[in-house]
Amino acid sequence: MNTIKNTVMIDGNEAAASVAHRASEVIAIYPITPSSNMGELADEWSAEGRKNLWGMVPTVVEMQSEGGAAGAVHGALQAGALATTFTASQGLLLMIPNMYKIAGELTPYCMHVAARTLATHALSIFGDHSDVMACRQTGFAMLASGSVQEAQDLAAIAHAATLRSRIPFLHFFDGFRTSHEVAKIVELPDEHLRALLDEEAIAAHRRRALTPDRPVLRGTAQNPDVFFQAREACNRFYFICPDIVRETMERFAELTGRSYGLFDYVGHPEAERVLVMMGSGAEVAHEAVNWMAARGEKVGLVKVRLYRPFDVASLAEVLPASVRAIAVLDRTKEPGSVGEPLYQDVVTALAEARNDGRIAREPRIVGGRYGLSSKEFNPAMVKAVFENLAAAAPRNHFTIGIVDDVTHTSLPVAADFDIEPDAMVRAVFFGLGSDGTVGANKNTIKIIGETTANDAQGYFVYDSKKSGAVTISHLRFGPGPIRSSYLVGKASFVACHQFEFINRYDMLEHAGEGADFLINSPYGPGEVWDKLPREVQEQILGKRVKLHVIDAYRLAREIGLKGRINTIMQTCFFKITGVLPVESAIAKIKETIQDTYGKKGGDVLKRNFEAVDRALAALSGVTVPAEVTAERRRPAVVSPAAPGFVQGVTAVMIANKGDLLPVSAFPVDGTWPVGTSQWEKRNIAAEIPVWDPAICIQCNKCALVCPHAAIRVKVYEPSLLDKAPATFKSWDFRAADYPGAKYTVQVAPEDCTGCTLCVMFCPAKDKSNPKHKSIDMHPQEPLREAERENYAFFLDLPEPDRTRPRALDVKTTQFFQPLFEYSGACAGCGETPYLKLLTQLFGDRILMANATGCSSIYGANLPTTPYASNRDGRGPAWSNSLFEDNAEFGMGMRLGLDSHRETARELVTRLVPGLPGDLVEGLLNGNQAGEAGIAAQRERVADLKFLLAGRTDPEAVRLSLFADYLVKKGVWIVGGDGWAYDIGYGGLDHVLASGRDVNVLVLDTEVYSNTGGQQSKATPLGASAKFAAAGKGTPKKDLGLIAMSYGNIYVASIAFGAKDAQTVKAFLEAESYPGPSLIIAYSHCIAHGYDMAFGCEQQKLAVDSGMWPLYRFDPRRIEAGQPPLQLDAAAPKIRVEQYMKNENRFRILERLGTDRARGLAAAAQRDAERRFQHYQQLAGLTVGKPPAEEPAKV
C-alpha cells in the first residue's frame, strides 16, 4: 500500500489508458509502438473484469489494422457507444480518413496517441509530433500532455470536453519520453472522472445514435450546390469548443486542485523573451525558465495545451505585454513549408491578435525544430534558444540539439549547463536486458516513490538489438515536481552491471563531480583499479568519483540465482546512496520480492532474500590511487580494417555517441551501405560451439539452422591449409566429386549468440559417448583469440564455384556464402535461418521488399546492417516501405525490373546490326535457369558491355545503362504474419492474384512478435497471446489454402527444423516458378514462451502433430496431369498436446483449467485432424485430364 495518499508510480501509457478504459464502452485496438501498452492494458483490465464508470466491462477488440480500428470505432460511435482507441505514427495516418468523417459528423470521441515519428528517410519508433501534426486539419480537437500526470489529467479533460462540445478529441503525449516514463502521479479517482463527464451530453450522444427505432441517414453524397454550405454548418461548434475546454479545466481544478489552461504561461511576469511549445519538451523548458527567471532573466514559456481549435484570444491573453521576441519550437519537420506548424500558427495568431487590437505590438517570432525521434532536449538547449532570441537578429528556422554543418541551421549549445538541484538524486544504470536491471530499477523507483514524500522518475533506454540487449536506466528522486524529461547528465550514482561495459561504453560521461560508481566486477577492491582502461581511471580521478565493487555474479551463483543479479545490485544502490535508511530499504526490497516471486515458491523467495542480505557484506569500497596508472586504453570499437564510413559513422553509433555526429556524416536520402554488421564484434555468447571433425558427418545442418550465420562450412583445396593458423581444424571432405578436398566447420566466435540451435540440431553423435556431439558448447573467452584468427582465415578461403554442385540441397547450399549475417535478431531466432538460406540461394540477384516488423528491425535497425554483398559486390538490395503495403511495394519492384528488362531487350534488338548474332540470341533467349544459366548470361552481358564501351550513339549508351537487367532478377517479398494475415492481407491477395513473378516469404511466428506478442489471425487455436490472454478461440487462418484456391500460385508450407530438405526444395521451386509464389515458413519465436534452443524440436512436434502441415502446391504439376498439391509430412502421429505442452503460450490453457480451456485444447486436436484430412483429399485431386502414362522416373 502507498503511504502517500492517492499517488501511484505508473507510466504515461497507463495513465492515459486508465482514464480511457473507465470512460469507454467499446475499445478497438491495433498494436503499434509506443502506444501498444495502452491497448494491452485495456485488454488485460477487461479480461480481469474491470468495469467502466457505468458498471460495464468495456469490450476490447483487436482489428486487422489501425484503419480497421478507426472504422470499428466510427461504427461504434454511430451506434451511440462511447468508444476510444490508442495509436501512433503510421497507425494514426491510417486513421485519418475516418477522423475526417468522425469530425464531420460532430461525434463525441476521444482517442489517445503516444506521438511518434513518421517514417521518412528511415523508420523510427521514437517520439515526435510528426504524426499528430498530420492530423491538425482533420477537424479533431487536439490536446497535448507533457508529463505522466498530464497524460492522465488531460485524458480526462478530453473525454469530458468532447461530450459537451461534440468535437472529437485527439489527446497526445510524447512517445517513450512520456508514454514510457515511470513517474509518481496523483491518481484520478472514479468520482472525479464521473463528475467531469456530463451525463446529459452522453444521453444526447445516445439520442443521436443510428437506430431503426428512429431512423436517420448519415453519409450522404453532396454536390456543388450544397456541400460548401453544409460544411460550414459546423462552425459554431468549433467557436465554442475552447470555452468548453476551459470550463472543463476549471471544473477539473475544482475537483482535483490541479489547474490547466488552454495556454499556460510560466516564467518572469515581465518576460521579454518567450518560448512557445507543447509536449514533454515544455516541461524541460519550464524547469529552465524557472531557473533563469529566478536569476533575474526576463524569460517565459507558453505551454500549448489545446492546439486545435487554436484559440487566438487565449494565446494573446497569456503572453506578457512585455514580450519582445518569441521562439516557437516544433517537434516535427515539414520540408518546404514556410515554417513548422506551431510556428506558423503562432505567427498567424499574433498577426491576427495585433490586427484585432488584442496585443499592442507584434513581437519578433522565430521558429525552430527540436527533438525529432526522441532526440535529447535539455535545459542547455532551452538556454541556447533564449540566447538566440537575445541576439539583435535572431536566427529563424533553426534546429537545436544537433550539429547541422551542411545548411548551418543549428544553434550552438553550451556543453556544461546543469540546473538540477543538489537535493536531486540522479542515477544511471548500465545493464543487460537479461540481467533484470530495468525491472529492479522500476522496483526501486516504486519503493522510493511510494514510501517517501519524494518525487520519482524513471526512464529507460533500450538497445536496437534483440539479443544481448544493453539497457540504460535513468532514475531521479527528490523534492518535486520533477520536470526533467531528459536523460540524466550529472548523475550522483552510476552503476555498471556488466564488467565488460567498462571497455565498451563511456559510462562516466553521465557522472557528476564526486559521484558514486558501482561496478559488478569479478575483480575485488584490491585488483579492480588495474583492470580499468586509462580513460576510466582519468574520469574517476578527474571527477573525484567514489568507486565501489561487488562480485554480483559470484554471489548470485553461490545463492543459486543463476545470472539474476538484479536484487543484489538494487540493494547495493540503496546502501551506497542512502536515499532510504538501509533497514527500511531492505524491508521494502523484500516486500517487492515477496510480491514478485511469492507465487513461484518459497525457494526462489528465500534465495532472493539471501541475495539482499549477503549483498551488503559483499559490497566493498575501493581506495583509488592518486594517479592514473593504466597504460591500456579502451579498445577500438571496430577493427582498423573497417571502411571509412564504418569508422566514422557506424563505430560512433555503436559506442553510444551517435548524438555527436553532424548532419554532414549522413547520406541525404536514407541510403545506407550494406554488410556493416561484420564490423561490430559483440561477443555476447558465454559459450560457443566447438567442432569435433572426427565424428562429423558433414551434413552442414549446423550452418543451415544458425540464425546469425555464425557457424559456416567450406570445402577447399588442401594446399590452402599451408598458411592456416595452428588451431584451425580441417578434415577430408567426404564426397566423390571433390576428390582430395578439405572440409571445415568454423564458428564466428565473436558473432555467435550462444543460442545452441546448431548443437541441438546436430545429428552426429560420438558412438561411444552419445552425449558428445560433433559440435558441443564450450566457454567462449578462452577460445576467443584463437577462433577469431581461425575465422578470419576461414573467411579468406575461396568461395565455392556456385555452378559446380549437381543438385542444390541442404548440404550444397550451405557452402554458398550467406549474404545476411550477424543480425540483431534474438538468440535462436526462428525466422533468420530462412532469410539466410534465401540469400545463399539467390542473394546475388534479388530485390527484397520487407514489411515492417521483426524482420525489418533486425534487417535494418542501425547502427549496423546485416544484409551483405559477395566478393563480386553483388547482394540482396533490400528496402522497407511500410507495414501494410509490402506486397504492393514488392510488386512495384517487379514492374520496374520488368520494364527495365523489356527496355534492354528492345535496345538489344534495335542494335542487332552492330552485335554478334549468337550473343544477341543468347542475351534474348539464353536459358537462365539455375546458377550456370545465370553465370552464362552475366558473361554475355559483360561481353555486351565490352562491345558497347566507347560507343556514343544514344541507344548504345542507354543499353549500357540497362544491360544488367538482361540477367534475371528475382523479387522476394518478406514479412511476418501480422503483415501477411492481417494488415497487408488485402494487398497480398491482390499481388498474388496478379500473376506476376514475385515470391512471398511469410515468416510466420503466429503473433505480432516485434510489438510484443499480440495475437494475429495466424495465432493458432488455443494459444495465449496478448489480446487473447485466455487462449485464441478461433482456428488459424489458412493462408496457404486461400492462395491455392487461385490455382496459379505456387504455395509451400515449410518448417526447416522439421524437414530441412523440403525447405530448400520449396525455395528453389518458388524462385523457378514463373508466376507468384507464397512460402509460409514456421518460425519459432520467444513469444511462444520456451527456450529457443528447443526451436527445432518444437518444429518437428508441430509437424508430427498436424499443427503445421508441410506441403508444396505447384501449378506446373497440373500441366503434367499430376495433383498440384504434394503433402510432405505423413499423417499426424502424435497428439497436439505433445507439441503444445512444451510452449507456455499453450500451457496457459492447462493452467486456466476452465471448461473453455479444455474445450479449446480438444478443438485444437480436432482442427489439426480436420485440416490434415482436407489436405489429404486435395492431394489426391488432379485437375483436367489424367496422365496418359506415368512419366518414367529418373
User: Annotated catalytic sites, by residue?
Assistant: 33, 66, 116, 1010
- Nearest-approach distance from CB 762 to other proteins, in angstroms: 12
Residue (207 or 562) nearer to other proteins, CB: 562
Q: By CB under 8 A, how many residues form the interface with other proteins?
A: 61
Burial, 603: exposed, middle or buried (Cβ in 10 Å; 0-12, 13-18, 19+)? exposed
CB of 767 to other proteins, least distance (A): 7
**93 Cβ contact list (under 8 Å, min separation 6):** 118, 131, 134
User: What's the one-letter identity of residue 419?
Assistant: I
Residue 770 as a binder of other proteins (CB under 8 A): the answer is yes
**Which residues, numbered 461-490, are part of the site for other proteins (CB under 8 A)?**
462-463, 465-466, 469, 471
Binding other proteins (rule: CB under 8 A), the pick from 361, 408, 600, 778 is 600
E strand or H helix that includes residue 186: strand 182-186
Among 269, 514, 542, 602, binds other proteins (CB under 8 A): 602
Beta carbons within 10 angstroms of residue 488's beta carbon:
26
- The Cβ of residue 1186 has, within 10 Å, a number of other Cβ atoms equal to 8
Residue span binding other proteins (CB under 8 A) among the ranges 354-362, 432-440, 726-734, 754-762:
432-440
- Smallest Cα–Cα separation from 744: which of 773, 771, 721, 776? 721
Q: Which stretch binds other proteins (CB under 8 A): 438-446, 515-523, 539-547, 581-589?
A: 438-446
CB of 408 to other proteins, least distance (A): 32
Q: Which three-class secondary structure state does DSSP give residue 26?
A: strand
Which residue type is seen at 1103? V
Smaller CB separation from other proteins, 416 or 1155: 1155
Determine if residue 88 is left, alpha or beta; phi over 0 gives left, psi from -120 to 50 gives alpha, anything else beta: beta
For residue 392 the three cell numbers come to 539583435
> Across the beta sheet with 83-84, what order do the strands follow?
59-62, 26-29, 83-84
Q: Is residue 1145 part of the contact set for other proteins (CB under 8 A)?
A: yes
Contact flag: residue 692 with other proteins (CB under 8 A) = no
Residue from 119, 438, 518, 991 in contact with other proteins (CB under 8 A) = 438
- Indicate whether 215 belongs to the interface with other proteins (CB under 8 A): no
User: Shortest distance, CB of residue 14 to other proteins, whole angstroms?
Assistant: 12
Residue recorded with cell 515554417? 339
DSSP string, 1039-1092: HHHHHHTTSSSEEEEE-TTT-HHHHHHHHHHHHHSSS-EEEEEE---GGG-S-G
789 belongs to the binding site for other proteins (CB under 8 A) = no
Measured from the CB atom, is 254 or 1150 closer to other proteins? 1150
C-beta of residue 763 within 8 angstroms of C-beta of residue 701: yes
- The 1090-1109 site mask, x for binding other proteins (CB under 8 A), equals xx------------------
d(CA 619, CA 586): 15
**Residue with smaller CB distance to other proteins, 339 or 458:** 458
Shortest CB 1085 distance to other proteins, Å:
8
Among the residue ranges 238-246, 601-609, 728-736, 885-893, the one whose residues contact other proteins (CB under 8 A): 601-609
Q: Which cell numbers hold the place of 897? A: 525490373
814 Cα distance to chain centroid: 30
Q: How far is the CB of 460 from other proteins (least distance, A)?
A: 7
Cβ atoms of 1124 and 1117 closer than 8 Å = yes
Least separation in angstroms between residue 375's CB and other proteins is 15
Query: Does residue number 562 form part of the binding site for other proteins (CB under 8 A)?
Result: yes
* Whether 523 contacts 536, CB under 8 Å: no
Give the binding range for other proteins (CB under 8 A) out of 518-526, 727-735, 948-956, 1026-1034: 1026-1034
Closest to other proteins by CB, 362 or 1091: 1091
Alpha helix ranges (H) inside 598-732: 602-618, 644-645, 651-654, 701-705
Is 591 an interacting residue with respect to other proteins (CB under 8 A)? no
49 lines the binding site for other proteins (CB under 8 A): no
| Binding status of residue 644 toward other proteins by CB under 8 A | no
Burial of 918 (0-12, 13-18, 19+ CB in 10 A): exposed
CA R_g for the chain: 32
Instruction: Note whether 1025 binds other proteins by CB under 8 A.
Output: yes
CB 1009 to other proteins: min, Å: 8
Rounded CA gap, 647 and 651, in Å? Answer: 5
Over the window 824 to 853, marking each residue x when it contacts other proteins by CB under 8 A and - when it does not, the resulting string is --x---------------------------
Nearest to other proteins of 526, 602 (CB atom):
602
1148 sits near other proteins (criterion: CB under 8 A)? yes
The answer to whether the CB of 550 falls within 8 A of the CB of 570 is no
Looking at 218-226, 426-434, 537-545, 680-688, which segment touches other proteins (CB under 8 A)? 426-434
Amino acid letter, residue 1120: A
Vertex 497, ends 494 and 500: CA angle to 5°? Answer: 105
β partners of residue 973: 849, 1000
- Nearest distance from C-beta of residue 1013 to other proteins, angstroms: 4
**Binding residue (CB under 8 A) for other proteins from 892, 1089, 1121, 1123:** 1089
Closer CB to other proteins, 826 or 1066, in the complex: 826
Q: Which is nearer to other proteins, 45 or 493 (CB)?
A: 45
Taking the complex as a whole, the smallest distance from the CB of residue 183 to other proteins amounts, in Å, to 16
Q: Give yes or no for residue 603 binding other proteins (CB under 8 A).
A: yes
Q: How far apart are CA 965 and CA 944, in angstroms?
A: 12
Q: How far is the CB of 433 from other proteins (least distance, A)?
A: 2
Residue range at the interface with other proteins (CB under 8 A); choices 506-514, 633-641, 762-770, 1128-1136: 762-770
1013 lies in the binding site for other proteins (CB under 8 A): yes
Q: Which grid cell sits at 520?
A: 559488478
Residues 16/112, Cβ–Cβ less than 8 Å: yes
At 572, the amino acid letter reads C
Least distance from other proteins to the Cβ atom of residue 1155, Å: 8
Burial 167-201 (b: 16+ CB within 10 A, else e): bbbbbbbbbbbbbbbbbbbbbbeeebbeebbbeeb
Find the part of the chain contacting other proteins (CB under 8 A) among 216-224, 304-312, 435-443, 524-532: 435-443
Residue 812 is placed in which grid cell?
Answer: 550444397
Question: Considering the rule CB under 8 A, would residue 1151 count as an interface residue with other proteins?
Answer: yes
d(CA 914, CA 955): 12
> Shortest Cβ distance from residue 422 to other proteins (Å)?
30
Stretch near other proteins under the rule CB under 8 A, chosen from 377-385, 436-444, 873-881, 925-933:
436-444
Residues 827, 828, 830, 834, Cα dihedral to 10°: 90
User: 503 — alpha (psi -120 to 50), left (phi > 0) or beta?
Assistant: alpha
Nearest to 273 by CA among 320, 342, 311: 320
- Report the residue from 33, 152, 677, 823 that binds other proteins according to the rule CB under 8 A: 33
Stretch that binds other proteins, among 262-270, 276-284, 402-410, 1022-1030 (CB under 8 A): 1022-1030
952: Cβ–Cβ under 8 A, 6 or more apart, which residues? Answer: none
Lookup result for grid cell 479480461: 47
Which residue is it, cell 592514473? Answer: 628
Contact with other proteins (CB under 8 A) among 1011, 1062, 1063, 1083: 1011
Does position 659 interact with other proteins (CB under 8 A)? The reply is no
What is the contact surface with other proteins in residues (CB under 8 A)? 33-34, 36-37, 40, 44, 125-126, 176, 180, 432-434, 436-439, 442, 460, 462-463, 465-466, 469, 471, 562, 564, 599-604, 765, 767, 770, 826, 857, 1009-1013, 1024-1026, 1028-1029, 1086-1087, 1089-1091, 1144-1145, 1147-1148, 1151-1153, 1158
